[in-house]
Chains A and B, each alone.
Chain A
Amino acid sequence: MPTAPHILYCNCTYAQVVSKEVKEAVLRKLCESGVPFEAVADLCEMSARKDPSLQRFSRCGNLKVAACFPRAVKWLFTSANAALPSDQTEVLNMRVQSAEQICQAIDNPEITPNLPSGKAVAPPANELAGSAVVA
Chain B
Amino acid sequence: MSLSQALHLVLYEGNGAQPLPGNARVGAVSALLERGYALSCSTSDVSLIPDGHTVVMVLGQFGNGSLPPVQQPGVTIRFHDITGLDGSQIAAHVEAFRTETSSPKHGDWKPWFPVIDYDRCTNCMQCLSFCLFGVYGADANQRIQVQNHDNCKTNCPACSRVCPEAAIMFPKYKAGPINGDVVSDADLQREKMKIDISALLGGDVYQMLRERSERAKSRFSKERDSEKALKERQKCLVKLAQAGDIPPEVLMALPSPEEIQRRAEEARAKAQAALARQ
Which of A's residues lie within 8 Å of B, judged by CB? Answer: 11-15, 17, 24, 27-28, 30-32, 34, 36-53, 55-56, 68-73, 75-76, 78-79, 95, 116-125, 134
Contact = CB atoms under 8 A, between A and B. Distances in A.
Contacts, number: 168
Contact of B179 (A14, A17, A32): A17
Q: Which 8 pairs show the lowest CB-CB distances between chains A and B?
A: A72-B180, A52-B52, A69-B180, A44-B111, A122-B182, A45-B111, A72-B171, A11-B33
Interface in B194-219: none
Nearest to B38: A40
Contacts of A72: 115, 169, 171, 179-180
B25 interface: yes
B113 A48 contact: yes
* Most chain B CB atoms below 10 A, which of A32, A48, A118: A48
* Interface residues of chain A: helix, strand, loop or mixed (majority): mixed
Nearest to B182: A122
B42 A36 contact: yes
Interface residues of B, number: 61
B36 interface: yes
Nearest to A71: B180
A42 B107 CA distance: 9
A118 B119 contact: yes
19 contacts: A15-B172, A17-B172, A17-B174, A31-B29, A31-B41, A32-B22, A41-B33, A41-B36, A69-B176, A71-B180, A72-B180, A73-B180, A75-B118, A79-B145, A119-B119, A120-B119, A120-B183, A121-B184, A124-B186
A36 B115 contact: no
Contacts of B115: 47, 72, 75-76, 79
Contact of A41 (B4, B38, B117, B186): B38
Interface in B67-125: 106-107, 109-113, 115-120
Contacts of B172: 12, 14-15, 17, 44
Given A38-B38, A39-B39, A75-B115, A55 B26 contact: no
Given A13-B107, A31-B26, A75-B169, A56 B52 contact: yes
A94 B115 CA distance: 19
A31 to B, nearest CB: 4
A71 B169 contact: yes
Interface in B133-164: 145-146, 149-150
Given A38-B38, A53-B50, A68 B180 contact: yes
B185 interface: yes
A116 B119 contact: yes
A34 B172 CA distance: 30
A27 B185 contact: no
